Structure 1
Amino acid sequence: MKAIILHSRGPDGPRLTETARPSAGPGMARLRMLAASVNRVDLYMRDSGAGITHSLPQIMGVDGVGEVIEAPEGTGFAPGDRVILYPYDTCGQCRACLAGDQPLCSSARIFGEHRDGTFAEEIVVPAAALVALPLGTDVTQAAALGVAYLTAWRMVFGKAPAGPGQTVLVQGAGGGVAYAAMQLARMAGARVIVTTSGADKLAHFRALGVEVIDYRTADVPKAVAALTAGDGADLVIDNVGERTWPASLRAMARGGHLVTCGATTGAHPSADIQRLFVRQLSIHGSTMGSREEFRRLIAAFAAGAFTPQIDSTFPLADVPRAFDRLEHPDRLGKIIITIA
């Protein structure tokens, strides 16, 4: 079978490679992969991978949608069933797992990071990672849910849930997670303000009826203050990191919350501690979501509450080109890899 295998670090490291088809052991299911999505962590694995326990060569890809080839008896899955992957392989026994908060599992392994991933014609995963897809589900759209939309779900509905009467600021809304957060915050009934740049992106969000700030030409905190009669944003979604962090803090309302899930522009911004305690601000870290949050996300998607924004699609052989697109400033939404 064919897979995108990371052989070494750097742009030339990921290569379409012929490799042996996997076999399923006890408790494991074998899938024919249909589609997957490209995520920022793929670039991190390609270029560094520091701090993530793994060994090369390794199949890339964190999430995806597939069709069951074989599954253990008693799981409720049969050959031909279409499934989406919950992207964590967790122990099921630690305090976090027993509390239903799987992302905090002390021994969690993530596909494409700690073990072989989803950019392959066939994969073997724990049967517990399979979640049934409703009949008639658009496979391309569903492939966007596993990481980006699950991450956004916890950010929007987690420790500081968004809702009617609240203002949510989403930084860099053209990216996959940020765009998903914008959609989910609107679904929750919150007022949403986004930052982005480029004429096409600005026009896109305005056409949706979203309030937009061009971060290249405007002072973001001042613009947010002007839009909110000086109050600021109750919830700020920031996965950009060091570059946007000062503006995110200054754009927050008193008693507001900032939720972060990424640091693509750097991981060591100023803490601005005085602002934190004087204005009683809260900072929350967030990584993907629990199985229950995944179930709710899929139910909302199946009900038509939102439609994932797809920027582009690439075949499996063109994953390196998809990585280039991920870094392009014009990208808007998710990049999908079609496999079968």
Structure 2
Amino acid sequence: MMMKAIVLREIGGPEKVHYEEIPDPILEEGEVLIRLHAAALNRRDVYVTQGLYHGLRLPAVMGGDGAGEVVRVGKKVTNVAIGDEVMIYPGLNWGNHLRVNGPNFSILGVPKDGTFAQFVTVPSENVFHKPAYLTWEEAASIPLGGVTAYRAIVTRGKLQEGETIIIPGIGGGVATLLLQIAVAIGAKVFVTSSKEGKIQKALELGAAGGVNYRSDTWVKELREMSGGADLSVDSIGGEQFNSLVSLAKPGSRIVTFGATKGQVPNLLLPRIFLKQIDILGTSSGSPEECKQMIDFFKEHEIHPVLDQSFPLEQTKEALIMLDKGENFGKITIKIPQ
């Protein structure tokens, strides 16, 4: 049998992806075959098209996030059944250490074929039942960004009700999920962006305030507005990381999981150790954290923020939109049935 899929055959950015017909995936005994109803984009998908992701083998069926219906199960599968509606945890081979992934860890789509397709196979332990209150596209948009955000805020950052958190660069999928989780915990959330419209949308989602980092005085404005941060969660790096150190309260935490603006220049270590600041690294989360995150979303009935939806054949256009950084929330893909 054949299926429709998005395939990357050469490096060169989002323009190099193709909508093709390829053979259905082969089911192994410990796996489930899922008919996907929706998928979602992550910044990682753009990096894959640019050849910036370790382990890439071409041709590649892209995509890490997805949700759909189980249509076949392997002989050793007992936790799900045919007809179950599920969402996919995209992390493979996490390992036995709860704090850090093992050396063979990878994310669906690189190198194992991913979710930008009509069907996908994954190990049975990588599927969780879809909460009934979520649409297909909402369910597809949560797993990778959600578990990354949950691990950053809850597992590593240990955010508490009433604390102040700063989330720089609001707008992307993980950042909006960070905001929603922090608001549900009961924290006071402050954001930064270069777009006033994104700050306004963050306020509508429950942020207490926000500043435009294009302003020469944004650090001063944010300090006066927030009183300083108990926790900052950063994926940007670069010079603005120094600003987060400046904004940190004594005894506070900074969680970092990315460096889109590169290394931190002229970092003054005394600013960290004299203020007793904890710098905590994180990345994607474990299967157990994914389960905890889904339970948290169910408890608080969190609906992820969706920006725009594209049909599978227009995934190239969706990736170009994501690469431009114009979205607020997740960009999703509708899969033809």
Pair in the same fold by TM > 0.5: yes
Letter in 2 for 1:302: K
- Structure 1 letter corresponding to 2:290: F
1:252 has 2:248 as partner = yes
Work out the CA distance in 1 between the residues paired with 2:189 and 2:132: 32
In 2, distance between residues paired with 1:313 and 1:263? Answer: 27
Q: What is the CA–CA distance in structure 1 between the aligned matches of 2:240 and 2:51, rounded to whole Å?
A: 23
Q: Aligned residue for 2:72? A: 70
1:282 and 1:201 mapped to 2: Cα distance?
A: 29
Residue 325 (structure 1) aligned to one of 302, 321, 327: 321
Equivalent position of 1:162 in the other structure: 159
CA distance in 1, matches of 2:239, 2:163: 25
For residue 98 of structure 1, what is the aligned residue in structure 2?
96
Deviations 1:245-293 (A, max 9, x none): 2222211111211111122222454432221212121211111212222
Q: Distance in 1 between matches of 2:184 and 2:51?
A: 36
How many residue pairs end up in the alignment? 331
How far has the Cα of 1:26 moved from its partner? Answer: 1.7
Q: How does 1:62-141 map to 2 (within 5 A)?
A: 62-73=64-75, 74-90=77-93, 97-101=95-99, 104-141=101-138
| 1:281/1:60 CA distance change after superposition, 3 Å | same
Q: CA deviation at 1:105?
A: 2.1
Q: Which residue of 1 aligns with 2:179?
A: 182
Structure-2 change in CA distance of 1:137 and 1:203 (3 Å): closer
Q: Aligned AA for 1:41?
A: R
Partner of 1:217: 215
- Asked if 1 retains the 8 angstrom alpha-carbon contact of 2:196 and 2:212, the reply is no
Asked whether 1:316 is paired with 2:312, we answer yes
Deviation per residue, 1:223-244 (Å, 9 max, x gap):
2321244xx2111111122152
Between stretches 313-322 and 216-225, larger displacement belongs to 216-225
Name 2:37's counterpart in structure 1: 34
TM-score by length of 2: 0.92
- 1:240 corresponds to 2:236: yes
Report Cα offsets for 1:195-245 as digits up to 9, x if no partner. Answer: 11323223223334421111112533312321244xx21111111221522
Q: Which amino acid aligns with 1:2?
A: K
Secondary structure in 1 matching 2:65: coil
Deviations 1:18-50 (A, max 9, x none): 111112122121111111111111111110235
Alpha-carbon separation, structure 2, partners of 1:228 and 1:155: 20
The answer as to whether partners of 2:184 and 2:300 remain within 8 angstroms in 1 is: no
C-alpha contact (below 8 Å) 2:60/2:111 kept by paired residues: no
Name the TM-score, length of structure 1 as normaliser: 0.91
Superposed CA RMSD: 1.9
Note the C-alpha offset of 1:305: 3.5
Q: Which 5+ residue runs of structure 1 have no aligned equivalent?
A: 92-96
In structure 2, the partner of 1:171 is 168
Write out per-residue CA displacement over residues 160-215 of structure 1, whole angstroms, 9 at most, x where no aligned residue: 31112311000011111111111111111111111113232232233344211111
Match of 1:335 in 2: 331
Identical-pair percentage? 32
One-letter identity of the residue aligned with 1:287: S
- More displaced stretch, 276-285 vs 134-143: 134-143
Letter in 2 for 1:321: E
**Structure 2, unaligned stretches of length 5 or more?**
none
User: Aligned-pair distance for 1:76?
Assistant: 3.1
Relative to structure 1, the CA distance from residue 6 to residue 131 in structure 2 (aligned partners, 3 Å threshold; closer, same or farther) is same
